[in-house]
Structure 1
Amino acid sequence: MKKYILLNSKRLPPFLMIFGLLIFVQSLINYANAKVISSVKPIGFITEAIASGVADTDVLLPDGASPHTYSLKPSDLVKLKSAELVIWVGEDMENFMPAILKRIDKEKQIELMAIPEIKARLQTSHNVHEHEDLQNHDALDEDHHGEYDEHIWLSPKIAKIIAQSIHDKLVTLYPDKSTLIDENLNEFIINLTETEQNIAKKLITVQNRGYFVFHDAYGYFEARFGLKNLGSFTINPAVQPGVQKVYAIQQELKKHQAVCVFRETQFSPAVIEKLVNGTDVRIGELNPLGTGIALSKDAYSQFLSKLTQQLLDCLGKN
Structure 2
Amino acid sequence: MRRLLCTTLLFSAGLAHAEVPRVATDIAPVHSLVSMVMQGAGSPDLIIPPGASPHSYAMRPSEARAVAKADLVVWVGPSLAPWLEEPMSSLAQGAERLTLQDVEGIRLLTNRSGVAFEAHDHGDHEGDDDHAGHEDHEGHDHGAHEDHGDHGDHEGHDHDDHGDHKGHDDHADHDDHDHDAHEEADAHAGHNHAPGALDPHIWLDPQNAMVWLDAIAASLSAQDPENAALYADNAAQAQAQLVDLQADIQAELTPLRGQKFVVFHDAYHYFEARFDVEASAAISLSDGAAPSAARLAEVRDVVKDTQAACVFTEPQFNAGLVDALQDGTALKSASLDPIGAALEPGVDMYPALLRDLAAAFTSCLAE
* TM-score, reference length from structure 2: 0.70
The structure having more radius of gyration, on CA atoms, is 1
- Note if contact 1:259-1:282 (Cα within 8 Å) is conserved in structure 2: yes
In the alignment, which of 111, 134, 142 is matched to residue 99 of structure 2?
111
Q: 1:295 — aligned with what?
A: 345
Find out whether 1:144 has 2:193 as its counterpart: yes
- Note if contact 1:127-1:144 (Cα within 8 Å) is conserved in structure 2: no
Find out whether 1:182 has 2:169 as its counterpart: no
Q: How does 1:146-225 map to 2 (within 5 A)?
A: 147-225=197-275
- Measured at CA, do residues 109 and 276 of structure 1 come closer, stay the same or move farther in structure 2, by a change above 3 Å? same
- Note if contact 1:264-1:287 (Cα within 8 Å) is conserved in structure 2: yes
SS of alignment partner, residue 281 of structure 2: strand
- Note if contact 2:31-2:346 (Cα within 8 Å) is conserved in structure 1: no
Unaligned stretches of 5+ residues in structure 2: 1-19, 118-173
Tell me the alpha carbon deviations over residues 68-94 of structure 1, each in whole angstroms, 9 at most, x when there is no partner. 122233332211001221111111210
In the alignment, which of 23, 33, 41 is matched to residue 54 of structure 1?
41
SS of alignment partner, residue 330 of structure 2: coil
- Note if contact 1:160-1:189 (Cα within 8 Å) is conserved in structure 2: yes
Find out whether 1:279 has 2:329 as its counterpart: yes
- Aligned-residue offset at 1:314: 0.7
What CA distance in whole angstroms lies between the structure 1 residues aligned with 2:88 and 2:232? 28
- Note if contact 2:115-2:299 (Cα within 8 Å) is conserved in structure 1: no
- Measured at CA, do residues 242 and 144 of structure 1 come closer, stay the same or move farther in structure 2, by a change above 3 Å? closer
- Look up the equivalent residue of 1:82 and give its one-letter code: K
What CA distance in whole angstroms lies between the structure 1 residues aligned with 2:239 and 2:226? 22
- Note if contact 1:261-1:281 (Cα within 8 Å) is conserved in structure 2: yes
- Note if contact 2:261-2:281 (Cα within 8 Å) is conserved in structure 1: yes
Q: 1:90 — aligned with what?
A: 77
Q: 2:32 — aligned with what?
A: 45
- Note if contact 1:212-1:233 (Cα within 8 Å) is conserved in structure 2: yes
Q: 1:125 — aligned with what?
A: 111
- Note if contact 2:340-2:353 (Cα within 8 Å) is conserved in structure 1: yes
- Measured at CA, do residues 312 and 106 of structure 1 come closer, stay the same or move farther in structure 2, by a change above 3 Å? farther
User: Larger % of helix: which?
Assistant: 2
Q: How does 1:20-35 map to 2 (within 5 A)?
A: 35=22
- Aligned-residue offset at 1:274: 3.1
Q: Please, which moves more after superposition, 51-60 or 242-251? A: 242-251
- Measured at CA, do residues 242 and 194 of structure 1 come closer, stay the same or move farther in structure 2, by a change above 3 Å? closer
Q: 1:257 — aligned with what?
A: 307
- Aligned-residue offset at 1:148: 1.5
- Note if contact 2:36-2:238 (Cα within 8 Å) is conserved in structure 1: yes
SS of alignment partner, residue 116 of structure 1: coil
- Note if contact 1:135-1:235 (Cα within 8 Å) is conserved in structure 2: no
What CA distance in whole angstroms lies between the structure 1 residues aligned with 2:287 and 2:201? 20
Tell me the alpha carbon deviations over residues 132-175 of structure 1, each in whole angstroms, 9 at most, x when there is no partner. 44746346364515722111101111101111111001112222
SS of alignment partner, residue 62 of structure 2: helix
- Note if contact 2:24-2:73 (Cα within 8 Å) is conserved in structure 1: yes
- Note if contact 1:204-1:225 (Cα within 8 Å) is conserved in structure 2: yes
Q: 1:227 — aligned with what?
A: 277
Unaligned stretches of 5+ residues in structure 1: 1-32
What CA distance in whole angstroms lies between the structure 2 residues aligned with 1:95 and 1:224? 26
- Aligned-residue offset at 1:236: 7.6
SS of alignment partner, residue 288 of structure 1: coil
Q: 2:355 — aligned with what?
A: 305
- Aligned-residue offset at 1:298: 3.2
What CA distance in whole angstroms lies between the structure 2 residues aligned with 1:315 and 1:57? 37
Tell me the alpha carbon deviations over residues 88-112 of structure 1, each in whole angstroms, 9 at most, x when there is no partner. 1111210111111223246521111
- Note if contact 2:283-2:296 (Cα within 8 Å) is conserved in structure 1: no
Tell me the C-alpha RMSD between the 2 structures.
Answer: 2.6
Tell me the alpha carbon deviations over residues 231-286 of structure 1, each in whole angstroms, 9 at most, x when there is no partner. 21226878876665544432221111111111111112233333335223212210
